[in-house]
Amino acid sequence: MKHWVKAFRLRTLPLALASIGMGAFLAASSGQFNGGVFALCALTTILLQVLSNLANDYGDSVHGADGAKRTGPSRAVQSGFISLKAMRNAIILFSALSLLSGIGLIYLAFGWSPQVFGFFLGLGVLAILAAITYTAGYKPYGYMGLGDISVLIFFGFVGVMGSAYLYEQELKWEYLLPAISTGLFSVAVLNVNNIRDIESDKEAGKISVPVRIGRKNAVFYHWFLLVAGFALGLSYVLMNYSSYWQLIIVLALPGLIKNARAVKTHTESSKLDPFLKQMALTTLLYVILFGVGQVVG
C-alpha cells in the first residue's frame, strides 16, 4: 500500500486544488458558492491528478525518462515495486472513478440539461485523455514540449473558469485574468520539474521546454511565468478594488521570489527538487490569499 500511496504523489494535490479553489472563491465573491458542487469538484480534481501521476509513472518508465540518472523521487514502476500490468489496471480504475465523479458533479450543477451536460462530459473525457497521454501512449505530448500548454489550459482556463461556471452558470470573461494567473503558476511548477530533470530528459528523448531552450533560457522563462502570473492577479484585484483586504495577495510574493532565486542558483537537481513542492504550496497560498481578499473585501 505504501508504494501505491507514493505513486499517487500526494505532494502534487495542492496544485490541483488551487485551480478549482480559485473558481470557488470567484463564485463565492459573487454570492454563488455551493458546498456540494465544491466537494464533488475537489473529488473529481483529485482523482484526475492521481490518474495523471499514475500515467506519468507508467509512461516515463516505459519510455526511459525514469532511468538511473533521474534525480527526483524514484517511481514505483521504475523501482519494480508495482508492475506495468498493475499500473495499467490502476490507470483504468482511476479513469472510471474520475468519469463517474465528473458525471455526478455535472448532474448536481446543471441537472439533466442535454447540451450543457454533453459539453462538460466531453470536457471531462478530454481531461482524462490529457492526463493519460501526457507521458503514456505511442506519441505522448509531454515528450514534444506541449506539457506547458496543456497545464495552462487545464489548470488555468478549464480549472478556474470551468469550475466557476459550475456555480454561476455564466461565463465571465474578466475571470480570464485570475485563470491565466493560476495557470501560469501551475506551469511554473512543471518548469521546476523539467529543469530538475533536464539531463535525464535529454537522454530519454523527452523534449521538454527546458531541454528545447536550454537551462539559462528556462530560468528566464520561469521568471516570466512568476512575474506575469502575479501581475495578472494583481491587475484583476485593482480592476475590482473595493477594500484593502484584496491586497493581501502580496503576502505570496516572498514565496515566489524564493522560488525564482532557487531556480537560478541551484544548479544541482537534488537541491532544486524541494522547490517543486514549495512552488505548488505557494500557488495554493496565493489562491487562498486572493480568494479571501475577494470574499472579505
The 3-class secondary structure across the chain, one letter per residue, is CHHHHHHHCHHHHHHHHHHHHHHHHHHHHCCCCCHHHHHHHHHHHHHHHHHHHHHHHHHHHHHCCCCCCCCCCCCHHHHCCCCHHHHHHHHHHHHHHHHHHHHHHHHHHHCCCHHHHHHHHHHHHHHHHHHHHCCCCCCCHHHHCCHHHHHHHHHHHHHHHHHHHHHHCCCCHHHHHHHHHHHHHHHHHHHHHHHHCHHHHHHHCCCCHHHHHCHHHHHHHHHHHHHHHHHHHHHHHHHCCCCHHHHHHHHHHHHHHHHHHHHHHCCCHHHHCHHHHHHHHHHHHHHHHHHHHHHHC
Q: What is the pLDDT of residue 249?
A: 96
Ramachandran angles phi, psi of 49, nearest 5°: -65, -45
Q: What is the pLDDT of residue 173?
A: 92
Task: For residue 103, give the nearest of 116, 86, 89, 90 by alpha carbon.
Answer: 116
- Please tell me the total number of residues recorded for the chain in this structure: 297
User: Per-10-residue mean pLDDT for the chain, 297 residues long?
Assistant: 83 90 96 95 95 86 57 64 86 95 93 84 90 80 88 94 94 95 97 92 88 95 98 96 94 97 92 93 97 91
Task: For residue 83, give the nearest of 140, 3, 142 by alpha carbon.
Answer: 3
Domains of the chain by residue range: 1-296
Q: What is the pLDDT of residue 70?
A: 47
Q: What is the pLDDT of residue 73?
A: 59
Q: What is the pLDDT of residue 112?
A: 81
Ramachandran angles phi, psi of 73, nearest 5°: -55, 140
Q: What is the pLDDT of residue 63?
A: 61
